[in-house]
Chain A
Amino acid sequence: MVMKNKVNWNKKMKSVPGIAITLFFAFLFLFPLYIAVVTSFKTQMETANNVLALPKQLFWENYTEALRISKFGRAIWNSAYITILSVFFLVLFSAMGGYAIARNRNNRFLRILERVYLSSMMLPFQILMIPIYKIFKTLHLQNNLNGVVLVLIGTSLAYPTFLIAGFVKTVPRELEDAARIDGCGPYQLFFKIVFPLLSPIISTVTALQTMWIWNDFNTSLILLQKDSVRTLTVKQFYFFGQYAVDYNMAFAAAIISMIPILIFFCVAQRYLVAGISSGAVKG
C-alpha cells in the first residue's frame, strides 16, 4: 500500500514540470489577448497608471467611440462580401476542376494543367502585384469589390484544386459507374453524386480558405484605395497607423474586428485543425 502510494506520488511529481511548462506557455499566448481586452475597457488615465491592471469599471465609451470613428462596420461588411463570394466560387470551381483532373488521368491537356497549377503555387505574390495593379487600372476595376473577388479566386484556385484532385483519387469510382449506367449525365453525376461525397475535403477547404481570404492583406492593399471599399485588414492597417495615440479606443476597435473571425474560429475549429494537421498550408 505504501509502495503503491509512493509510486503514484512519484508519477505525480514527474508530471509537474510538464504541466507547469504547458500552463506557462498558455499564459504567454493568452497575454496579448488579455492586454487587448483589458485596455479596450480602460480610460487613457488608467492605462497610463498601470498597463497590466484590470479596469476599475468597464469604460464602454471606447467602444461607442471606436464604432463611430473606425467605421469598422463597413469594413467588416466588405470583408464578409469578398470572403463569402470568393470562397463560394473558389470551392465550386476547384471541386469541378479537381474532379475533372483526377478522373481524366490520360488526358494530356488536363495533365499539363495540373502541372501548371502546381508550379504556379511557387509564385510569390510580389511578381503578380504590379501587373495586376496595371490591369485593374486599365480596366477601371480599382476600388471594385467584385474585381478583388476575381483576383482572389484566380490566385487561390491552384491549391484547393490540387487538394480536391488528391481527394477524388481516394473516392471509389463504382458509384459513378453505376449512375452512368442508369443514364445519369456528367453534370448531374457531379452535382448529385460526386459533390456530396467530397464533403470532408470541401469542409476543410472552405474553412481554410475562409480564414485566409478574410485575412488577405496583399491583394486588398494594392487594389482597394478608397476608404468606403476597404476590407477589414486594410482598414485596420490605416486605422491603427493613424490612431496610435488613443490606444484604448483603438483596442476597442481591435476587439470589434476580432469578433467575426473568432466566431468563425469557434465554429470551424475542427476543420481548421484537421486541414492544417494534414499539411494543408498555404505557401
Chain B
Amino acid sequence: MKGKNSVQVFLSRSAKYIFVLPGLSLFIFAVVIPFFMGLNIAFTDWNGISPNYHYVGLKNFLSVFKDSRMTLPVKNSLKFALIGPVVNNALAIGLALMLNQKYKKLTSVAKLIFFMPVCFSSVLSAFIWNFIYKNVFSAVLGINSPLGSKFWVIPAIIVIGLWNGVGVGMMIYLSALKSVPEELYESAKMDGASSFKCFFHITIPMLTPAYTTCVTLSLTNYLREFATTLSATGGGPARASETISIYIFDNLYTYNKAGYGQALSLLFMIILIFISTGVSTFFRKMEVEL
C-alpha cells in the first residue's frame, strides 16, 4: 500500500520531466547524438563505407580552403543567395499587395491559386518545369531550355522555386498588410499625401516585421539550396548549378569522402548561423526604430 503511494507521488512530482521525455529522447537520438558524432567524423578520414577510419586532425578543415572543386559551389550558392531572396520577396510583396485589393471573390480565389503550389514537393515542381523549359519554351518561344545554359540555369531554378514557394512569403506579407491600421492611410490622405507617397511612407515601413521573417528565411533557404536543384539539373550543366549542399551530399555518396564532407558542413553551418543571426538582428533593429 505504502509502495504504491510513493510511486504515485513520484509520478506526479516528476510529471513535467515525464512529459518532455518522449520528445527529448527522439531529439537526442536524431539531433544531439548525430551532431556530436559529426564533430568527431569531421576530424577523421572516414570514407562513408568502411568501418575503419583514422583521425587526421585539422587536415579536413584545412583542405576546404585548398579545395579547387569548392570554388564553383560557393559561387553558385552565393548567386542563389543574392538573386533568390530579392526576387522572392519582391514577388511575394507584389502578390500580397494584389490580394489586398477590394475584390473579395477574385482575390480569395487568386490567393488559393498562388498558395497551392506550396503543397507540392520540390521534386514534382522541378519535373513539371523541366518539361516546360524543354518542350514548351522551344515550341512556343523557339529557345532552348535555360536549364541547359550555364548562364541561365540558376535563374531558371529560382523560377521553379518561386512557383513552388512564393506563397509562403506572400501569406506572411498579406497578413502584415491586413494589420496596418486603416486610420494611418486616412489621416495621411487628409494631409494631402498621394497614394504613391502613402505606399512608400506607410505600407513599406509597416511591413518591417514581415521582412525579418521572410528575408531571413528565404536567404537561409537559398544558401542551403538542395532539393529543387538536385532534381532539376543534378548540379549541371558542367556543375554550373552545383550548390554547397549538393557538394556536401556528393562527398558522402559519390566521392566517398564523408570525413571531409562533414568538416565542410560544419564550416557551412557556422557561416549560415552567422549570416542568419546578422540579417535578423539587422531587421529587428529596424523594427525597434519604427
A binding-site residues for B, Cβ under 8 Å: 15, 18-19, 21-23, 25-26, 29-33, 35-36, 39, 47, 50-52, 89, 92-94, 96-97, 99-101, 103-104, 107, 109-110, 113, 117, 120, 122-135, 150-155, 157-158, 161, 185-187, 190, 211, 214-215, 217-218, 222, 232-233, 236-237, 240-241, 244, 247, 250-251, 254, 257-258, 261-262, 264-265, 269, 272-273, 276-279, 281, 283
Contact = CB atoms under 8 A, between A and B. Distances in A.
A130 B41 contact: yes
B119 A265 contact: yes
Given A126-B249, A157-B27, A281 B168 contact: yes
Nearest to A126: B265
A123 B119 contact: no
A153 B16 contact: no
Contacts of B248: 126, 129
A25 B110 contact: yes
A262 B120 CA distance: 8
Interface residues of B, number: 91
B30 A113 contact: no
A197 B196 CA distance: 45
B282 interface: no
A123 B31 contact: yes
Interface in B127-154: 127-132, 135-136, 139-140
Contacts of A96: 19-20, 22-23
B19 A130 contact: no
Contacts of B46: 134
A33 B240 CA distance: 28
Given A157-B26, A254-B128, A276-B168, A126 B224 contact: yes
B71 interface: no
B48 interface: yes
A185 to B, nearest CB: 6
Given A19-B106, A26-B110, A185 B12 contact: yes
Given A25-B110, A35-B131, A232-B121, 20 more contacts: A15-B101, A19-B103, A22-B106, A22-B110, A23-B106, A35-B128, A120-B27, A124-B224, A124-B245, A124-B268, A127-B38, A128-B30, A130-B261, A134-B46, A236-B127, A237-B123, A244-B130, A250-B127, A278-B175, A281-B172
20 contacts: A15-B101, A23-B110, A26-B113, A35-B132, A110-B16, A124-B272, A128-B38, A132-B30, A135-B33, A186-B15, A215-B121, A240-B127, A244-B130, A247-B135, A258-B120, A264-B119, A269-B112, A273-B111, A276-B118, A281-B168
